[in-house]
Amino acid sequence: MDDSTRDYYEQEARRFFDATVNIDPTPILNPLAEALSPGARILDIGCGSGRDLLWLKNRGFFPHGLEPSPALAALAETHSGCPVTVGELTTTDLLDRSWDGILVSGVLVHLPHEAVPAHLARLARALANDGRLYVSLKEGEGAGADADHRSFYYWQDDDFRRVAQGAGLTVLSMSRSASARGNADIWLGYLLDAKGGKP
């Protein structure tokens, strides 16, 4: 994540929280929830407002958030009542543990394409046996920035599938949906497992 993107989430934490916390995440999270047993331990990377943490907790899971912005992390922890660690996907030691589920929603879109394969491989290694990974990405070509100066890197389905397979991940299901925030973005959602990459 570049500095301008990181600065946005810290400086505009309350605005981002207010814009996202009341969006119903059920269509996004159901594939992951249905693939896991009650009591599963789930790491939500880039947990933002804590909306998804609360949804998962209310369904009998044990979620733990990771959020780069200290301001957003505090809001997420208060909103969800779940533990939230301040840190980033690129450097966190939380992936040295084993997780039943890992949620990476709207996070990899901020990383250059060439950085994603190594991170996917690390995510695959952090999955417990029969663990599941959920990833969402913006559909499109190349890279760009929005009005808030956040950098985005766009993906095509075939390209992501190829990178996921190279990281030892198998696509179990895929969805394509319009943004819940009412803009023109199209999101690709993938439920994956790492059976193909585990001994």
Structure tokens at 80: 């969800």
> Which is nearest to 188 in space by CA: 112, 137, 132, 113?
137
- CA distances (Å), 154 to each of 59, 113, 119, in order? 32, 8, 16
Q: How distant is the alpha carbon of residue 139 from its chain centre?
A: 15
- Per mean pLDDT, which range of 18-22, 141-145, 177-181 is the poorest? 177-181
Report pLDDT digits (tens) over 115-145. 999 999 999 999 999 999 999 999 999 999 9
| Count of CB atoms situated within 10 Å of the CB of 60 | 12
CATH number at residue 146: 3.40.50.150
Identify the band that residue 198 occupies on the pLDDT scale cut at 50, 70 and 90. Answer: very low
The C-alpha R_g of the chain, in whole angstroms, comes to: 15
pLDDT at 181: 66
Domains: count for the chain: 1
Phi first, then psi, for residue 181 (nearest 5°) are: -90, 5
Query: Which residues of the chain form beta strands (DSSP E)?
Result: 41-45, 62-67, 84-86, 99-105, 127-138, 143-145, 151-153, 170-178, 186-193
- The rounded mean pLDDT for the chain is 93
Distance CA 169, CA 22 (A): 32
Task: Decide if 140 contacts 160 (C-beta within 8 A).
Answer: no
Angle at 117 between CA 132 and CA 85, to 5 degrees: 60
Show the domain range for 49: 3-197
Residues 8-25 have a mean pLDDT of: 91
Closest CA to 170 of 199, 198, 192: 192
Q: Report how far residue 66's alpha carbon sits from residue 184's, in angstroms, rounded to the nearest whole number.
A: 27
pLDDT-above-90 percentage for the chain? 83
Q: Which two tokens stand for residue 110?
A: 């901020």
Higher pLDDT, 145 or 94: 94
